[in-house]
Structure 1
Amino acid sequence: MVNVLFVCLGNICRSPMAEAVFRQKVSESGLAEDIHIESAGTGHWHIGNPPHEGTLDILSEKEINADGLIARQVEKEDLDKFDIVVAMDAENLGSIQTLRKPNQKVEVVRLLDFAEQAEDNDVPDPYFTGNFDDVYDMIETACESLLQEVKEKWL
């Protein structure tokens, strides 16, 4: 079993969107029994809340299941539980790295490291910009490449 954790700031926009998109791609590829997927935020503001309305709207529009998506905060223990932690931007990446213990084997990456066409390595936060459509497109493309990487490297 490969364990993948997506992380953004509040766990209501980008990371739950990535969790839902990646979950669907994993399911469609027949690997739902082989890959466990969750999301979390570096901040505590939205713990226990469902995703942002803009995230839910775009997932519904794209017919992607959003059931079970509830915001939580990333914890030190997550870096022991998960094989791959996928940050949405440099700030999230830095926050995750501060939780990391020496010699932990978890792989910490940015999602757009898997998007060849990306102009920037950071997924912009639609909570502030409102650009849920653009963010969905970035996440969808990168999740496809991330799935290929997981299959080649971990399965």
Structure 2
Amino acid sequence: MKARILFVCLGNICRSPMAEAVMRHQVEQAKLTDQIMVDSAGTGDWHLGHPPHEGTRDQLDQHQISHQGMKARLVTPDDYNTFDYIVCMDTNNLRDVRKLFFGEGKATAEESKRLFTFMELLPAKGIADVPDPYYENNFPFVYELVDSGCKELLKRVKADLKLNE
């Protein structure tokens, strides 16, 4: 069985591609690329086909994490059937993705287990959303959150796949 992870933010140029790149790097370090697939998408179409934002690229470069070939894309209804973990970078994107996947209906408990906000991985931080560095220019802080949260997500995925630590 292979785990498939999708990170979602607004434009798919700052937070979600940062999380995709960091998670891919952590998966590579854990030698699990054959068992865990990672992607990212956005809920808005302003930046389709564009590479990650310069601030995201700078942070990834500083940490020697590849962002080669990454291009912004939209989240689609089919993503719900493709991905096992759909991690939204904030509550607004979670709302929009739920609406895309389920219309006005409520998600079941099983569906909610697969679809959640990134900050649910870091409850001790006491914040609901990963701040959008596109507006706040706080790329180093966002990187710290993303790095920590991806480590927690990797632990969860490994446990779900019953992989040895």
Bin for the TM-score computed over the shorter chain: over 0.9
Larger radius of gyration: 2
Give 1:131's match in structure 2, choosing from 112, 133, 138. Answer: 138
Q: How does 1:1-155 map to 2 (within 5 A)?
A: 1-101=2-102, 105=111, 107-155=114-162
Deviations 1:128-148 (A, max 9, x none): 000000000000001000000
> Scaled by the length of structure 2, what TM-score is found?
0.90
> Scaled by the length of structure 1, what TM-score is found?
0.95
- AA at the equivalent of 2:140: D
- Structure 1 CA distance for aligned equivalents of residues 69 and 7 of structure 2: 15
- Structure 1 CA distance for aligned equivalents of residues 85 and 123 of structure 2: 19
- Structure 1 CA distance for aligned equivalents of residues 91 and 35 of structure 2: 29
- Equivalent position SS for 2:94: helix
Deviation at 1:154, TM superposition (A): 3.0
The structure 1 segments of at least 4 consecutive aligned residues displaced by more than 3 Å after TM superposition are 101-106
- Structure 1 CA distance for aligned equivalents of residues 37 and 150 of structure 2: 14
- Structure 2 CA distance for aligned equivalents of residues 116 and 30 of structure 1: 27
Deviation at 1:117, TM superposition (A): 2.7
Structure 1 stretches lacking a partner, 5+ long = none
Deviation at 1:3, TM superposition (A): 0.6
- Structure 1 CA distance for aligned equivalents of residues 62 and 124 of structure 2: 24
- Structure 2 CA distance for aligned equivalents of residues 80 and 108 of structure 1: 12
- Structure 2 CA distance for aligned equivalents of residues 51 and 5 of structure 1: 16
Structure 2 stretches lacking a partner, 5+ long = none
Give RMSD over aligned pairs: 1.4
Q: Give aligned-pair identity as a percent.
A: 43
- AA at the equivalent of 1:132: F
Deviations 1:33-70 (A, max 9, x none): 00110000000000000000000001001110111210
- Structure 2 CA distance for aligned equivalents of residues 50 and 118 of structure 1: 29
